[in-house]
Structure 1
Amino acid sequence: MGDSVLAFDPLSSQGLFHALASTERTATAIAREFEGYLSAGQHYFLEMRHVQARYYKHLAATYARPVRYCDRPFWAQRRDQVDWMGAG
C-alpha cells in the first residue's frame, strides 16, 4: 500500500526508500483497522499527505538548482510540473 500511495520522480531517489520506510507504518495502520480502530487508515493517509507535501517542497528545490541548463526542455518541463503540483 505504501508504494501505491505516492509516486516519486526517479531523480529524487525516494521511491524505494519510501516503500521500505513506510512498510511498518502501513502494516500498523492495517492491523489497527482490523482491531477496530477505524481512524487508523485516515491517520495513515494524513501522514502520507505530509510526506507528499515535504517531497514536493524538496522536489521544487531540486529542479530550481540547475541554472546552466534551465532553459533546456528537460529541466523546463520538470519545473512546469512542479509548479503545477503547487510546490514551486
Structure 2
Amino acid sequence: MQTFWRGFFLTSLTRVLPLHVCVAISSLGFAALHLTPVNLLPILLLAPCGDLLFLRSASLAPPILLHAAWNGYQLLAIAVGGKDYFV
C-alpha cells in the first residue's frame, strides 16, 4: 500500500500540484481507505506525517516504519485493554 500511495500517487501529484495540496489529497485518500468513524481522526493525523516523512527522506522506509509502529501500538492496546481500545 505504501508503494502505491506514497511511491506512485503522492509522487505523481507533486508534479502537477503544490506540495501542500498534494499532502492534503493524499492524506484524505489514505484516511478514506481506513474509513470508520472511530479511526478517522488518528489516521487523518498520521497520514500527513507519513507523506512528509516520505517527501523529506525520498524513501518508503520511514512511512512504513511509522505505519508498523502504529499497528504495533494498536495491537498492544488491544492486548492490554481489550477490543474497546482498537482505533
What TM-score, normalized to structure 1?
0.41
Point out the structure with the larger helix share: 2
If you compute each CA radius of gyration, which structure gives the higher value, 1 or 2?
Answer: 1
What TM-score, normalized to structure 2?
0.41
Higher relative contact order at CA 8 Å, sep ≥6: structure 1 or structure 2?
2
